[in-house]
Amino acid sequence: MADLDIFMGNTAPRPTEAITSSGEPVDLSLASVRFRMRNTAAPGLKVDAAADVVDGPAGRVSYDWVADDTDTVGEFRAWWTVTIDGEDQDTPEFSVAVLAHAEVPTTGLITVADLDARRISYEDVAQAQAAIEDASAVARSYVSPVLDDVVRGGDPDVPQAVIPVVAGMVRRVLTNPVGLSMEVLGDYTYQAGSNAVATLLPTQRERRLLRRAAASFAKANGIAFEALGSGSAWMSGVLPVVSDDVGLA
């Protein structure tokens, strides 16, 4: 365990220390202090920034992280550089560990990383993961049993054409969860397109893409099934699409 543990991207806890010499506090009332940190696995400084003198006579200093300081997982060594009367003196190093949370097991057809790559916003990872699991379950229901046991990053992996479809379903849920179709503010009126107001149900075009991708995936992986929708996957790459009015049937 390091002297200071912090999770990647976090800005707390802050590094703080009471700087001493021969057991006595160093008066930093007229001093300037910098916080410096290096990655033990890479050359150069990861952080080299001004620190705060919290209590000059007591020698207490602290540093406020910025997000870039903790954007890399790894083991680091940090220290304070104290400048008094133009002379620099470094303190002994202490260890800092930037940690990553363990990956959450997923059964989704996409991952949170897929949302990030598409700049899809969400409040927190738990919310995003829940939306992914819901959208994946709905998408699988249209092509069952072809993708029932397929997960993102698995072997075999999710068909590439399925990923943007499920991501689009998740985007609608996260950005317009109640399915608003119009916004009016004074003289300003905004009308959303029909695709924007849907929630988890895939659009007609998305269902067509899902069925095409599932048919190709099943054939490539030797998955036997009788039909998707009302037609055989072996007969046509474009399988029948049920009307939007039918819902999940």
Each residue's pLDDT tens digit, 61-114: 999 999 899 988 899 999 999 999 999 999 999 999 999 876 666 789 999 888
The helix (run of H) or strand (run of E) holding residue 34 is: strand 32-39
Q: How confident is the model at residue 155 (pLDDT cuts 50, 70, 90)?
A: confident
Domain 4-99 top-level CATH class: mainly beta
The confidence score (pLDDT) of residue 4 equals 97
Token reading at 239? 């399988």
Q: How confident is the model at residue 239 (pLDDT cuts 50, 70, 90)?
A: very low
Closest CA to 74 of 2, 137, 26, 144: 2
The confidence score (pLDDT) of residue 105 equals 67
Each residue's pLDDT tens digit, 170-208: 999 888 765 555 555 666 654 555 544 456 889 999 999
Alpha-carbon torsion, ordered 195, 154, 111, 181, to 10 deg: 10
Each residue's pLDDT tens digit, 34-59: 999 999 988 899 999 999 999 999 99
- Burial letters 187-222, b for 16+ CB under 10 A, else e: eeeeeeeeeeebebebbeebbbbbbbbbbebbeeee
List, in sequence order, every beta strand (DSSP E) within 41-158.
45-50, 52-55, 60-62, 74-84, 87-90, 94-99
Q: How confident is the model at residue 237 (pLDDT cuts 50, 70, 90)?
A: very low
The confidence score (pLDDT) of residue 153 equals 87
Can you give the pTM of this predicted structure? Answer: 0.50
Residues 6+ apart with CB under 8 A from 13: 4, 6
Question: What residue segments make up the domains of the chain, in order of their start?
Answer: 4-99, 112-216
- Has residue 30 got a pLDDT over 50? yes
The confidence score (pLDDT) of residue 241 equals 43
User: 24-25 and 45-50 as β-strands: parallel, antiparallel, unpaired?
Assistant: unpaired
The confidence score (pLDDT) of residue 182 equals 54
The confidence score (pLDDT) of residue 92 equals 97
The confidence score (pLDDT) of residue 225 equals 62
The confidence score (pLDDT) of residue 183 equals 56
Please state, as a whole number, how many other Cβ atoms lie within 10 Å of the Cβ of residue 119. Answer: 7
The confidence score (pLDDT) of residue 113 equals 86
Token reading at 123? 């409040």
Percentage of the residues of the chain whose pLDDT score is greater than 70? 79
